Structure 1
Amino acid sequence: MKWIDLPPVWLGLFLVLVWWAPQFGFAAERNVAWRGLVGWALVALGLCLMILAVMQMARHRTTVIPHLQPSALVKTGIFGISRNPIYLGDALVLAGFVLIWDTSILFLLLVPAFMFLITRRFIMVEESRLNQAFGEEFATYCRSTRRWL
Protein backbone atom coordinates (compact mmCIF):
# COMPACT_ATOMS: atom_id res chain seq x y z
CA MET A 1 0.00 0.00 0.00
CA LYS A 2 3.01 2.30 0.51
CA TRP A 3 3.51 2.63 -3.23
CA ILE A 4 0.17 4.44 -3.44
CA ASP A 5 1.26 6.95 -0.79
CA LEU A 6 3.64 8.93 -2.98
CA PRO A 7 3.73 12.68 -3.69
CA PRO A 8 2.85 12.31 -7.40
CA VAL A 9 -0.32 10.43 -6.40
CA TRP A 10 -1.30 13.28 -4.05
CA LEU A 11 -0.53 15.84 -6.75
CA GLY A 12 -2.69 13.85 -9.16
CA LEU A 13 -5.59 13.83 -6.70
CA PHE A 14 -5.34 17.60 -6.23
CA LEU A 15 -5.15 18.09 -10.01
CA VAL A 16 -8.28 15.98 -10.53
CA LEU A 17 -10.09 18.13 -7.97
CA VAL A 18 -9.03 21.29 -9.81
CA TRP A 19 -9.94 19.83 -13.21
CA TRP A 20 -13.42 18.79 -12.04
CA ALA A 21 -14.16 22.07 -10.25
CA PRO A 22 -15.73 23.89 -13.26
CA GLN A 23 -18.17 20.98 -13.78
CA PHE A 24 -19.54 21.69 -10.29
CA GLY A 25 -19.99 25.43 -10.73
CA PHE A 26 -16.52 26.55 -9.66
CA ALA A 27 -15.55 28.04 -13.01
CA ALA A 28 -13.35 31.09 -13.41
CA GLU A 29 -15.11 34.41 -13.02
CA ARG A 30 -14.05 35.31 -16.55
CA ASN A 31 -11.63 33.95 -19.07
CA VAL A 32 -8.53 36.14 -18.91
CA ALA A 33 -5.57 35.64 -21.27
CA TRP A 34 -2.92 36.25 -18.62
CA ARG A 35 -4.10 33.22 -16.66
CA GLY A 36 -3.02 30.83 -19.38
CA LEU A 37 0.35 32.49 -19.87
CA VAL A 38 1.16 32.62 -16.17
CA GLY A 39 -0.23 29.13 -15.67
CA TRP A 40 1.95 27.56 -18.35
CA ALA A 41 4.99 29.47 -17.04
CA LEU A 42 4.36 28.04 -13.56
CA VAL A 43 3.95 24.51 -14.95
CA ALA A 44 7.17 24.84 -16.97
CA LEU A 45 9.10 26.22 -14.00
CA GLY A 46 7.76 23.45 -11.76
CA LEU A 47 8.74 20.74 -14.24
CA CYS A 48 12.21 22.26 -14.65
CA LEU A 49 12.73 22.26 -10.88
CA MET A 50 11.70 18.61 -10.69
CA ILE A 51 13.94 17.56 -13.57
CA LEU A 52 16.96 19.43 -12.20
CA ALA A 53 16.45 17.93 -8.74
CA VAL A 54 16.06 14.38 -10.04
CA MET A 55 19.19 14.78 -12.21
CA GLN A 56 21.20 16.03 -9.21
CA MET A 57 19.98 13.21 -7.01
CA ALA A 58 20.87 10.68 -9.72
CA ARG A 59 24.34 12.22 -10.00
CA HIS A 60 24.79 11.72 -6.25
CA ARG A 61 23.38 8.19 -6.55
CA THR A 62 20.64 8.70 -3.98
CA THR A 63 16.96 7.90 -4.10
CA VAL A 64 14.11 10.23 -5.01
CA ILE A 65 11.57 7.86 -3.43
CA PRO A 66 10.41 9.35 -0.11
CA HIS A 67 10.04 6.01 1.72
CA LEU A 68 13.62 4.86 1.05
CA GLN A 69 16.81 5.65 2.95
CA PRO A 70 18.95 8.30 1.18
CA SER A 71 22.58 7.43 0.54
CA ALA A 72 23.79 11.03 0.07
CA LEU A 73 22.86 14.52 1.23
CA VAL A 74 22.49 16.74 -1.84
CA LYS A 75 23.10 20.39 -0.88
CA THR A 76 24.31 22.03 -4.07
CA GLY A 77 22.69 23.32 -7.24
CA ILE A 78 18.93 23.62 -6.96
CA PHE A 79 19.15 22.12 -3.46
CA GLY A 80 21.08 25.23 -2.41
CA ILE A 81 17.89 27.26 -3.03
CA SER A 82 15.28 24.87 -1.61
CA ARG A 83 15.62 21.71 0.45
CA ASN A 84 12.59 20.34 -1.43
CA PRO A 85 12.73 21.47 -5.06
CA ILE A 86 10.66 18.51 -6.29
CA TYR A 87 7.82 19.33 -3.90
CA LEU A 88 8.15 23.01 -4.74
CA GLY A 89 7.86 22.01 -8.40
CA ASP A 90 4.72 20.03 -7.60
CA ALA A 91 3.18 23.09 -5.90
CA LEU A 92 4.02 25.28 -8.91
CA VAL A 93 2.47 22.74 -11.30
CA LEU A 94 -0.70 22.68 -9.19
CA ALA A 95 -0.90 26.49 -9.12
CA GLY A 96 -0.29 26.58 -12.87
CA PHE A 97 -3.16 24.24 -13.65
CA VAL A 98 -5.52 26.18 -11.39
CA LEU A 99 -4.83 29.12 -13.70
CA ILE A 100 -4.82 27.18 -16.99
CA TRP A 101 -8.04 25.27 -16.43
CA ASP A 102 -11.01 27.59 -16.05
CA THR A 103 -11.17 27.08 -12.30
CA SER A 104 -12.11 29.73 -9.78
CA ILE A 105 -9.06 31.61 -8.53
CA LEU A 106 -10.15 30.54 -5.03
CA PHE A 107 -8.79 27.11 -5.88
CA LEU A 108 -5.30 28.56 -5.49
CA LEU A 109 -6.01 27.91 -1.80
CA LEU A 110 -5.41 24.25 -2.63
CA VAL A 111 -1.71 25.07 -3.12
CA PRO A 112 -0.99 25.83 0.56
CA ALA A 113 -3.23 22.88 1.51
CA PHE A 114 -1.13 20.63 -0.75
CA MET A 115 2.08 22.06 0.73
CA PHE A 116 0.80 21.43 4.27
CA LEU A 117 -0.12 17.83 3.42
CA ILE A 118 3.24 17.16 1.74
CA THR A 119 5.12 18.70 4.67
CA ARG A 120 3.29 16.57 7.22
CA ARG A 121 3.12 13.37 5.22
CA PHE A 122 6.57 13.33 3.57
CA ILE A 123 8.96 16.17 4.34
CA MET A 124 8.98 15.78 8.12
CA VAL A 125 9.60 12.03 7.82
CA GLU A 126 12.33 12.58 5.23
CA GLU A 127 14.00 15.25 7.36
CA SER A 128 14.00 12.92 10.34
CA ARG A 129 15.62 10.21 8.21
CA LEU A 130 18.20 12.70 6.86
CA ASN A 131 18.95 13.94 10.37
CA GLN A 132 19.58 10.38 11.56
CA ALA A 133 21.81 9.62 8.59
CA PHE A 134 23.78 12.87 8.34
CA GLY A 135 23.48 14.50 11.78
CA GLU A 136 25.21 17.86 12.11
CA GLU A 137 25.82 18.14 8.35
CA PHE A 138 22.05 18.05 7.79
CA ALA A 139 21.41 20.47 10.68
CA THR A 140 23.89 22.96 9.16
CA TYR A 141 22.22 22.56 5.76
CA CYS A 142 18.79 23.25 7.32
CA ARG A 143 20.08 26.46 8.88
CA SER A 144 21.38 27.73 5.55
CA THR A 145 18.64 26.53 3.16
CA ARG A 146 14.90 26.97 3.59
CA ARG A 147 12.43 24.10 3.37
CA TRP A 148 10.41 25.56 0.47
CA LEU A 149 11.96 28.83 -0.70
Structure 2
Amino acid sequence: MAKWLDMPPVWLLGCLVLAWGQATYYPAGLSFGGAWSEFAGGLLVGGGVVLMALALSEFRRHRTTVIPHETPERLIQTGIFSRTRNPIYLGDALVLAGLILWWDAVLALPLVPIFVWVIEKRFIEPEEDRMRRKFRMDFARYCEKTRRWI
Protein backbone atom coordinates (compact mmCIF):
# COMPACT_ATOMS: atom_id res chain seq x y z
CA MET A 1 0.00 0.00 0.00
CA ALA A 2 2.78 2.45 0.90
CA LYS A 3 4.39 1.77 -2.49
CA TRP A 4 1.26 3.04 -4.23
CA LEU A 5 1.05 6.12 -2.02
CA ASP A 6 4.58 7.12 -3.00
CA MET A 7 3.72 7.89 -6.62
CA PRO A 8 4.08 11.14 -8.58
CA PRO A 9 0.30 11.62 -9.05
CA VAL A 10 -0.14 11.46 -5.25
CA TRP A 11 2.55 14.12 -4.77
CA LEU A 12 0.88 16.22 -7.48
CA LEU A 13 -2.52 15.81 -5.86
CA GLY A 14 -1.08 16.84 -2.49
CA CYS A 15 0.42 20.01 -3.97
CA LEU A 16 -2.84 20.77 -5.79
CA VAL A 17 -4.84 20.39 -2.58
CA LEU A 18 -2.45 22.77 -0.80
CA ALA A 19 -2.66 25.31 -3.65
CA TRP A 20 -6.45 25.11 -3.82
CA GLY A 21 -6.68 25.43 -0.04
CA GLN A 22 -4.45 28.47 -0.07
CA ALA A 23 -6.50 30.13 -2.82
CA THR A 24 -9.81 29.28 -1.16
CA TYR A 25 -9.12 29.83 2.53
CA TYR A 26 -6.11 32.16 2.66
CA PRO A 27 -5.92 34.38 -0.44
CA ALA A 28 -4.14 37.09 1.62
CA GLY A 29 -5.39 39.78 -0.74
CA LEU A 30 -2.81 38.80 -3.37
CA SER A 31 -3.51 38.25 -7.05
CA PHE A 32 -1.63 37.47 -10.25
CA GLY A 33 -3.72 40.06 -12.05
CA GLY A 34 -6.94 38.76 -13.51
CA ALA A 35 -7.87 37.21 -16.84
CA TRP A 36 -4.32 36.83 -18.16
CA SER A 37 -3.45 34.43 -15.32
CA GLU A 38 -6.49 32.27 -16.08
CA PHE A 39 -5.51 32.21 -19.76
CA ALA A 40 -1.85 31.40 -19.01
CA GLY A 41 -2.93 28.82 -16.44
CA GLY A 42 -5.20 27.16 -18.98
CA LEU A 43 -2.38 27.04 -21.53
CA LEU A 44 -0.02 25.46 -19.00
CA VAL A 45 -2.58 22.87 -17.89
CA GLY A 46 -3.42 22.04 -21.52
CA GLY A 47 0.25 21.77 -22.43
CA GLY A 48 0.91 19.52 -19.45
CA VAL A 49 -1.96 17.21 -20.34
CA VAL A 50 -0.76 17.01 -23.97
CA LEU A 51 2.78 16.13 -22.83
CA MET A 52 1.45 13.39 -20.57
CA ALA A 53 -0.78 11.98 -23.32
CA LEU A 54 2.09 11.93 -25.82
CA ALA A 55 4.33 10.16 -23.31
CA LEU A 56 1.68 7.60 -22.39
CA SER A 57 1.11 6.81 -26.06
CA GLU A 58 4.87 6.15 -26.46
CA PHE A 59 4.86 3.86 -23.41
CA ARG A 60 1.95 1.97 -24.89
CA ARG A 61 3.49 1.80 -28.37
CA HIS A 62 6.74 0.41 -26.94
CA ARG A 63 4.88 -1.90 -24.54
CA THR A 64 6.82 -0.98 -21.44
CA THR A 65 5.87 0.09 -17.92
CA VAL A 66 4.93 3.60 -16.92
CA ILE A 67 5.16 2.79 -13.19
CA PRO A 68 8.04 4.80 -11.66
CA HIS A 69 9.31 2.13 -9.24
CA GLU A 70 9.71 -0.49 -11.97
CA THR A 71 12.45 -0.85 -14.57
CA PRO A 72 11.13 -0.49 -18.12
CA GLU A 73 11.68 -3.26 -20.65
CA ARG A 74 12.71 -0.82 -23.38
CA LEU A 75 14.45 2.52 -23.55
CA ILE A 76 12.08 4.95 -25.28
CA GLN A 77 13.87 7.59 -27.34
CA THR A 78 11.17 8.40 -29.90
CA GLY A 79 8.31 10.87 -30.00
CA ILE A 80 8.21 13.30 -27.10
CA PHE A 81 11.07 11.37 -25.46
CA SER A 82 13.39 12.74 -28.14
CA ARG A 83 12.81 16.22 -26.63
CA THR A 84 12.71 15.49 -22.89
CA ARG A 85 13.56 12.42 -20.84
CA ASN A 86 10.70 13.08 -18.41
CA PRO A 87 7.65 14.39 -20.27
CA ILE A 88 5.14 13.09 -17.71
CA TYR A 89 6.92 14.79 -14.82
CA LEU A 90 7.28 17.95 -16.89
CA GLY A 91 3.56 17.73 -17.65
CA ASP A 92 2.81 17.33 -13.93
CA ALA A 93 4.82 20.47 -13.14
CA LEU A 94 3.02 22.40 -15.89
CA VAL A 95 -0.39 21.28 -14.59
CA LEU A 96 0.59 22.37 -11.07
CA ALA A 97 1.86 25.76 -12.23
CA GLY A 98 -1.17 26.24 -14.47
CA LEU A 99 -3.71 25.49 -11.75
CA ILE A 100 -1.86 27.76 -9.31
CA LEU A 101 -2.25 30.55 -11.88
CA TRP A 102 -5.86 29.59 -12.65
CA TRP A 103 -6.83 29.53 -8.96
CA ASP A 104 -4.87 32.75 -8.27
CA ALA A 105 -2.98 30.95 -5.49
CA VAL A 106 -0.06 33.38 -5.26
CA LEU A 107 1.33 32.02 -2.00
CA ALA A 108 1.31 28.48 -3.42
CA LEU A 109 3.73 29.35 -6.23
CA PRO A 110 6.75 27.97 -4.29
CA LEU A 111 5.08 24.55 -4.51
CA VAL A 112 6.24 24.29 -8.13
CA PRO A 113 10.01 24.18 -7.44
CA ILE A 114 9.38 22.08 -4.32
CA PHE A 115 7.37 19.59 -6.39
CA VAL A 116 10.09 19.47 -9.07
CA TRP A 117 12.76 18.88 -6.41
CA VAL A 118 10.75 16.06 -4.76
CA ILE A 119 10.07 14.41 -8.12
CA GLU A 120 13.72 14.64 -9.10
CA LYS A 121 15.03 13.19 -5.83
CA ARG A 122 12.28 10.60 -5.18
CA PHE A 123 11.67 9.36 -8.72
CA ILE A 124 13.90 10.64 -11.52
CA GLU A 125 17.30 9.93 -9.96
CA PRO A 126 16.39 6.36 -8.87
CA GLU A 127 14.76 5.70 -12.27
CA GLU A 128 17.85 6.92 -14.08
CA ASP A 129 20.07 4.72 -11.89
CA ARG A 130 17.99 1.65 -12.82
CA MET A 131 18.06 2.61 -16.51
CA ARG A 132 21.84 3.17 -16.41
CA ARG A 133 22.32 -0.34 -15.04
CA LYS A 134 19.98 -1.93 -17.57
CA PHE A 135 20.68 0.00 -20.78
CA ARG A 136 24.30 1.05 -20.11
CA MET A 137 25.78 2.89 -23.13
CA ASP A 138 22.42 3.36 -24.86
CA PHE A 139 21.18 5.30 -21.85
CA ALA A 140 24.43 7.28 -21.60
CA ARG A 141 24.10 8.33 -25.26
CA TYR A 142 20.44 9.18 -24.72
CA CYS A 143 21.34 11.39 -21.74
CA GLU A 144 23.95 13.20 -23.84
CA LYS A 145 21.48 14.13 -26.57
CA THR A 146 18.26 14.61 -24.53
CA ARG A 147 17.87 16.85 -21.51
CA ARG A 148 16.26 15.69 -18.29
CA TRP A 149 13.56 18.39 -18.28
CA ILE A 150 13.52 20.68 -21.32
TM-score bracket relative to the smaller structure:
over 0.9
- Structure 1 pair 26/17, CA: closer, same or farther in 2 (3 Å)? farther
Q: Which runs of 5+ in 1 are unaligned?
A: none
2:149 aligned partner: 148
Shift of 1:42: 0.4
2:100 aligned partner: 98
Contact 1:27 1:102 in 2 (8 A): no
- For 1:4-19, what aligned pairs fall within 5 Å after superposition? 4-19=5-20
Shift of 1:77: 1.0
Contact 2:42 2:102 in 1 (8 A): yes
The one-character-per-residue Cα deviations of 1:114-148 (angstroms, maximum 9, x if unpaired) are: 11100000000100111111000000000110000
Q: Which amino acid aligns with 1:46?
A: G
The one-character-per-residue Cα deviations of 1:90-132 (angstroms, maximum 9, x if unpaired) are: 000000001000211x432211111110000000010011111
2:31 aligned partner: 29
Contact 2:55 2:88 in 1 (8 A): yes
Q: Which runs of 5+ in 2 are unaligned?
A: none
Contact 1:39 1:99 in 2 (8 A): yes
- Structure 1 pair 33/61, CA: closer, same or farther in 2 (3 Å)? same
Separation of aligned partners in 2, 1:132 and 1:67: 14
Separation of aligned partners in 2, 1:29 and 1:138: 44
| TM-align CA RMSD | 1.2
**Correspondence 1:129 to 2:130:** yes
Shift of 1:47: 0.3
1:42 aligned partner: 44
The one-character-per-residue Cα deviations of 1:65-93 (angstroms, maximum 9, x if unpaired) are: 00112000001110011000000000000
Shift of 1:51: 0.5
**TM-score normalised by the chain length of structure 1:** 0.95
Instruction: Give the secondary structure class of the aligned counterpart of 2:110.
Output: helix
**TM-score normalised by the chain length of structure 2:** 0.94
Separation of aligned partners in 1, 2:98 and 2:149: 17
Q: Which amino acid aligns with 2:12?
A: L
